[in-house]
Structure 1
């Protein structure tokens, strides 16, 4: 079964407040989709809805299977990895223990594509600090740790929310290098990112959110020509 994500008519709420309004979106196997928009547009809510973390209704299917009613760990075991905006590390556990918790318990009849050794090779600072409690890491180190832990779940689709948020330029370049490597290995990604430069560097398709709806969805080359969309929904232009 193709590892494709299909979203149709998705609504989501925080309590009585509706945050998503009939979202339709798809991500094909191996595709990188950049989801852009202003703060408060609903992008992070969409990520959380995919992972079963907010109240929602509508159609969510991954690899042909409905995600409705599944808990977050069950969705992860189907092959959906999640890197949240606020870097949810286990602060009292050390780096190596955090990574061990990410290793996929499921068997999918293949050799894992990303190992703890890969994590330490990709992010040498994590090897240097493997016995350090995660709560004592810098923001950039925590972002690397969260990304590496998600990859150890051997996902087919990675949902990553603002990977460059608050990072120094050099650290952001390391994270971008990692994401390019994953793209080139054929991993599908939903990349939620404010920085158009990173989105344009990584993605083949761009969707724009505004007021909890998708207001543009098209190929990258079409997006860069839509100065009206950039001006109205992104404040660019």
Structure 2
């Protein structure tokens, strides 16, 4: 079966500085893949390359669509959702307005690759009750955890078949990180594929089907979560943990 996302030989640059040096990665429909690595390894650049936010070349196919010629909004319309590490909410707009800006108004979705029903405002409020309670508040006054929930919900309202989430637990309290993890588990149960980008693997062990490790702009390990613990060399040389 063809993968939902297929990346091969992906290279990316910031100006003349090359960050990705030939990344290969596949993600299947409904699969959760964690992308780990130290700071500077290229993880966030990989996400931005998928979203056409940096200069890049190489194979990037999503649901059979070539992403290379697409602009960022067209990639989103193709079915990729992206929650950046900075969350990128609109601070002066209300919570409800932020959510409505993310809504899929096109009436199309990737039925071949999804088994979940359309994500609605009611779903967002059910997953994150605080967003309903604070729907009239300006997004900029929310706590960091609440802003993360808002960014996740806004991305989901675009009906993505694949959600890219960059460091979702970074800077959050343990209870708030647990709530974000519970949300991601719910999305997995609904059939949303997830690319979970983490440095310290806070959420990956409980969520991911596979872990890919990036080092110096390449994938240096790609395998089942249970296998990573057996690769002391990968953990030592590329993660700096354990």
TM-score band, normalised by the shorter chain?
A: over 0.9
Question: 1:172-211 maps to which residues of 2 (within 5 A)?
Answer: 172-211=177-216
Cα RMSD of the aligned pairs, angstroms, is 1.5
Q: 2:218 aligns with which of 213, 220, 226?
A: 213
- 1:168 is matched with which residue? 173
Counterparts of 1:48 and 1:121, CA distance in 2: 29
Counterparts of 1:197 and 1:70, CA distance in 2: 33
- 1:233 is matched with which residue? 238
Shift of 1:196: 2.2
- 2:99 is matched with which residue? 99
- 1:141 is matched with which residue? 146
> 1:3·1:157 contact (CA, 8 Å) conserved in 2?
no
- 1:118 is matched with which residue? 123
Helix, strand or coil: the match of 2:105? coil
Question: 1:75-90 maps to which residues of 2 (within 5 A)?
Answer: 75-90=75-90
- 2:72 is matched with which residue? 72
Helix, strand or coil: the match of 2:194? strand
Counterparts of 1:220 and 1:91, CA distance in 2: 37
> 2:169·2:202 contact (CA, 8 Å) conserved in 1?
no
Runs of 4+ aligned residues of structure 1 deviating over 6 Å after TM superposition are none
Counterparts of 1:125 and 1:188, CA distance in 2: 25
Counterparts of 2:106 and 2:231, CA distance in 1: 43
- 1:47 is matched with which residue? 47
Helix, strand or coil: the match of 1:172? helix
Q: Per-residue CA shift, 1:24-59, capped at 9, x if unaligned? A: 111111111000000111000000000000000111
Shift of 1:145: 0.3
> 1:8·1:24 contact (CA, 8 Å) conserved in 2?
yes
Q: TM-score, length-normalised on structure 1?
A: 0.96
Gaps (5+ residues) in structure 1?
Answer: none
Helix, strand or coil: the match of 2:160? coil
**What is the count of residue pairs matched by the alignment?**
237
Shift of 1:225: 1.2
Counterparts of 2:154 and 2:200, CA distance in 1: 24
Shift of 1:175: 0.3
Counterparts of 2:81 and 2:180, CA distance in 1: 16
Gaps (5+ residues) in structure 2?
Answer: none
1:159 to 2:164 alignment: yes
Counterparts of 1:2 and 1:98, CA distance in 2: 34
Shift of 1:89: 0.4
